[in-house]
Amino acid sequence: MKVLDAVAWLGAAVLGAVEYVGELGMFTVSGISHVFRPPYYPRQIGRAFMEIGYFSLPVVALTALFTGMVLALQSYTGFSRFGAESAIASVVVLSVTRELGPVLAGLMVSGRAGAAMAAELGTMRVTDQIDALSTLSTDPMKYLVAPRLLAGIIALPLLVLLADILGVMGGYLVGVYKLGFSSGGYLTSTFSNLQAQDVISGLIKAAVFGFLIALMGCFNGYRSRGGAQGVGSATTSAVVAASVLILALDYVLTQVLFAK
Amino acid sequence: MSEIKIRIRGLKKYFGAKKVLDGIDLDIETGTGMVVIGGSGTGKSVLLKSILGLVTPDAGSIEIDGVDVLKAPRGQARELRQQIGMLFQNGALFDSLPVWENVAFGLLAQKKVSRAKARDVAVEILAQVGLGVDVAGLSPSELSGGMQKRVGLARAIAARPAIMFFDEPTTGLDPIMGAVIDELIVDCVKKLGSTSIAITHDMASAQRIGDKAAMLYEGRISWSGPAAELLTTPDTVVDQFTHGRAHGPIKMALRK
């Protein structure tokens, strides 16, 4: 009997996982198709852009600044053992533009805007607001989901661009004012090793992460059930799923963009 | 004989092993108000959502103006369903929008009018449900339950629908406010000449807003007749439900 129970549990778990992936796949295709098909809702796009981009500015800016500062400090501690202190500026700028900028901004925005999206859509679901949209000749996918996907794809690269600048500035502040590098030398070292591809690859990653954050926020909110507890679960799932996917896809994208 | 606006035949909807709707047959004549009564969880909301296309039935047909919306091309089904205005149980107002934008949402969504014109129209409709212009700029969260229902009603009638659905319109309201909402519903339906379906537990409300009534029990329509006969019919299921008796066939069914 216990064996049968275990098999039943395993079967239910596999079916649940397949159902989740199938639903997510259909939701993704539907969401993307609505991004390209009119009618468009500019006010909703603007509102989502503000939510994801503008209101995430402080947290992304602070994260990037301190990450650049810590990176410079830690690099100095390690590199000074090998007499390679001059590489600090290069390490900071390459780390920030290629990896830390997009990943940390993605994680921060996921925790802030992704959670907010899931909570808002989840509340709309459990209070029948999404059904009400349908009765008012408005496709909820088009009105709620497509604008957020679009805003995510546009807003995160802009945030990452800012994070890149502030991360490098953090490294500069520590390098020049604490570690004693000359201002000109630090900047020269920074820009001599920086290539356009480093920045562009980070922005491509950011666009993908922005899409993922909006997708997981919308998907989990849209399918939430069961009142306040359901909305809470949806919010947690949105953040966890987006964070894990960001880290996993970061590896895949790095492999694709920098493989030799 | 009156024309049939909505004809439902053999409608079934199962959630797993649970047979929520198990062969619903129901006709709603044009211009009449049908009240569907039944216990909690008997599928009244699922019935409305099936007609609206928010739930996909497992079997059966739903005809609006003689066209089966379950089999019609998507565009035609959408057009037929656009005739329906719905007042949700809790209002379901969009809390990110002010009251006037809630009321004018359908007009703005269809891009038929400018925002300024839509606001004027919304204020006019709000006046029809007894709300002043001062309410138009408020957020739904700033309104009382009764006011939220009125705004929900205003939103439902804004597009002058030929069919109106009311999901428990008086739930959560005190008896006086419930009567006020019922009066508004009757008034709006009469002015628009709409066909309506209301689902409710409130017998006083059922008799005020319904011309006809139907009892949903064990997934089927077990009784239908004039709403005025709800409290006097000899049908034992309806009698137990409308008089709130603890003992009777409904309880026996629950004990199975």
Contact residues for B144 (Cβ-Cβ < 8 A; gap 6+): none
Residue B3 clears pLDDT 70, i.e. is over it: yes
Residue B1 clears pLDDT 60, i.e. is over it: no
pLDDT at position B243, please? 86
| A227 shares contact with chain B (CB less than 8 Å) | no
User: How near does any CA of chain B get to the CA of A209, in Å?
Assistant: 26
User: How near does any CA of chain B get to the CA of A95, in Å?
Assistant: 40
pLDDT tens-place string over residues A199-211: 999 999 999 999 9
Q: What percent of chain A has pLDDT over 70?
A: 99
Enumerate the β-bridge partners of residue B85.
B164
Contact residues for B156 (Cβ-Cβ < 8 A; gap 6+): B85, B86, B87, B164
Q: Are residues B170 and B60 in the same domain?
A: yes
Q: Are residues B11 and B46 in the same domain?
A: yes
Residue A183 — very low, low, confident or very high, per pLDDT cuts 50/70/90?
very high
Cβ neighbour number for residue A251 with a 10 Å cutoff: 9
Residue B255 — very low, low, confident or very high, per pLDDT cuts 50/70/90?
very low
pLDDT at position A1, please? 66
Check if the beta carbon of residue B120 is closer than 8 Å to that of residue B71. Answer: no
pLDDT at position B91, please? 87
Q: Are residues B156 and B205 in the same domain?
A: no
Q: What is the ipTM of this complex?
A: 0.87
Residue B186 clears pLDDT 70, i.e. is over it: yes
pLDDT at position B22, please? 92
Cα–Cα distance measured from residue B191 to residue B4, given in angstroms and rounded to the nearest whole number = 20
- Confirm whether B139 is domain-assigned: yes
For range A65-83, the mean pLDDT: 92
- Confirm whether B186 is domain-assigned: no
- Choose from A136, A143, A144, A225 for mutation: most chain B CBs within 10 A: A136
pLDDT at position B256, please? 45
Residue A120 — very low, low, confident or very high, per pLDDT cuts 50/70/90?
very high
Q: Does A137 sit within 8 Å of B110, measured CB to CB? A: yes
Q: Are residues B55 and B169 in the same domain?
A: yes
Number of domains in chain B: 2
For range B79-104, the mean pLDDT: 92
Check if the beta carbon of residue B44 is closer than 8 Å to that of residue B199. Answer: yes
Q: Are residues B2 and B77 in the same domain?
A: yes
Cβ neighbour number for residue A203 with a 10 Å cutoff: 18
- Choose from A43, A120, A128 for mutation: most chain B CBs within 10 A: A128
Q: Are residues B241 and B253 in the same domain?
A: yes
For range B37-42, the mean pLDDT: 87
For range A76-102, the mean pLDDT: 91
pLDDT at position A142, please? 95
- DSSP state for residue B3 in the 8-state scheme: P
Q: Does A137 sit within 8 Å of B82, measured CB to CB? A: yes
For range B161-175, the mean pLDDT: 90
Domains in chain A: boundaries: 41-258
Q: Are residues B177 and B247 in the same domain?
A: yes
- Choose from B105, B163, B199 for mutation: most chain A CBs within 10 A: B105
Q: Are residues B170 and B233 in the same domain?
A: yes
| A193 shares contact with chain B (CB less than 8 Å) | no
User: How near does any CA of chain B get to the CA of A122, in Å?
Assistant: 13
Q: Does A135 sit within 8 Å of B105, measured CB to CB? A: no
Q: Are residues B128 and B243 in the same domain?
A: no
Q: What DSSP assignment string belongs to B181-223?
A: HHHHHHHHHHHHT-EEEEEES-HHHHHHH-SEEEEEETTEEEE
Q: Which domain holds residue B105?
A: 92-160
Residue A125 clears pLDDT 70, i.e. is over it: yes
The CA R_g of chain A, rounded to the nearest whole Å, is 22
Residue B174 clears pLDDT 90, i.e. is over it: no
Q: Which residue of A has its CA nearest to B77?
A: A137
Check if the beta carbon of residue B223 is closer than 8 Å to that of residue B237. Answer: yes
Residue B173 — very low, low, confident or very high, per pLDDT cuts 50/70/90?
confident
For range A43-72, the mean pLDDT: 95
The 3-state secondary structure of chain A reads CHHHHHHHHHHHHHHHHHHHHHHHHHHHHHHHHHHHCCCCCHHHHHHHHHHHCHHHHHHHHHHHHHHHHHHHHHHHHHHHHHCCHHHHHHHHHHHHHHHHHHHHHHHHHHHHHHHHHHHHHHHHHHCCHHHHHHHCCCCHHHHHHHHHHHHHHHHHHHHHHHHHHHHHHHHHHHHHHCCCCCHHHHHHHHHHCCCHHHHHHHHHHHHHHHHHHHHHHHHHHHCCCCHHHHHHHHHHHHHHHHHHHHHHHHHHHHHHHHCC
pLDDT at position A216, please? 97
Q: Single out the residue of A99, A92, A111, A96 nearest to residue A64, CA to CA.
A: A96
Q: Which amino acid, residue A257?
A: L
For range A127-148, the mean pLDDT: 93
pLDDT tens-place string over residues B109-119: 877 788 999 99
Q: Does B93 sit within 8 Å of A137, measured CB to CB? A: no
Q: Are residues B200 and B255 in the same domain?
A: yes
Q: Are residues B138 and B170 in the same domain?
A: no
pLDDT at position A107, please? 97
pLDDT at position A152, please? 96
| Core vs surface per residue B111-132: b (16+ CB within 10 A) or e | eeeeeeebbebbbebbebbbbe
For range A138-154, the mean pLDDT: 95
pLDDT at position B90, please? 86
Residue A259 — very low, low, confident or very high, per pLDDT cuts 50/70/90?
confident
Q: Are residues B15 and B73 in the same domain?
A: yes
Residue B232 clears pLDDT 50, i.e. is over it: yes
For range A233-246, the mean pLDDT: 95
Q: Where are the beta strands (DSSP E) in B53-210?
A: 59-64, 67-68, 84-87, 163-167, 195-200
Sign, Cα dihedral of A81, A87, A90, A94:
negative
pLDDT at position B241, please? 87
pLDDT at position B251, please? 62
User: How near does any CA of chain A get to the CA of B10, in Å?
Assistant: 24
Residue B102 clears pLDDT 60, i.e. is over it: yes
Written as six digits, the tokens of A186 are 């630090």
The domain that holds B7 is classified in CATH as 3.40.50.300
For range A78-90, the mean pLDDT: 87
- Confirm whether B75 is domain-assigned: yes
Residue B69 clears pLDDT 90, i.e. is over it: yes
